[in-house]
A = this chain, B = another copy of it.
């Protein structure tokens, strides 16, 4: 399968992207000559990673008939100091909120994404040290 993405320079560091029928801006930070008209392109790697593994996990949990959970994923990335500046360490934290969460199934869903399905994890893991953890925040059952 092939995909094509276009970015058009709109002056300064601003690029207007066209991807999957959606349009959005990318821009640099003010201290680097941008005007912050959109998010940073390099940090977008972390958004790509969260979305990719998050959609895997949501799909797998649906197949496992696990419902009534809330999921927040944080990606903490650490850059090196030399050119080319890139992520050397990335840690993903999967935070699940819910009541009586079936932890074994949830752990397995995350593991399947991280070890088998997530192509962004695979690609970024070739260049950075990528780790993950799963947190549970059990809410009181009000019944």
A-side interface residues, number (CB < 8 Å): 72
Per-residue CB contact flags for chain A residues 71-82 toward chain B (1 = under 8 Å, else 0) read: 111111111010
Chain A positions 60-88 with a Cβ under 8 Å from a chain B Cβ: 62, 70-79, 81, 83-87
Query: How many angstroms between the C-alpha atoms of A4 and B75 in the bound complex?
Result: 6
Q: Say what secondary structure dominates the interface of chain A.
A: mixed
Q: Are A117 and B75 in contact (CB under 8 A)?
A: no
Per-residue CB contact flags for chain A residues 105-132 toward chain B (1 = under 8 Å, else 0) read: 0000000000011111111101110000
From B9, B34, B43, B117, A72 is in contact (CB under 8 Å) with B9
Complex A-B: 19 CB contacts under 8 Å:
A1-B81, A3-B43, A4-B75, A7-B54, A9-B72, A13-B58, A15-B51, A15-B55, A20-B43, A22-B38, A41-B51, A42-B51, A42-B52, A42-B120, A44-B47, A45-B45, A48-B48, A86-B122, A126-B126
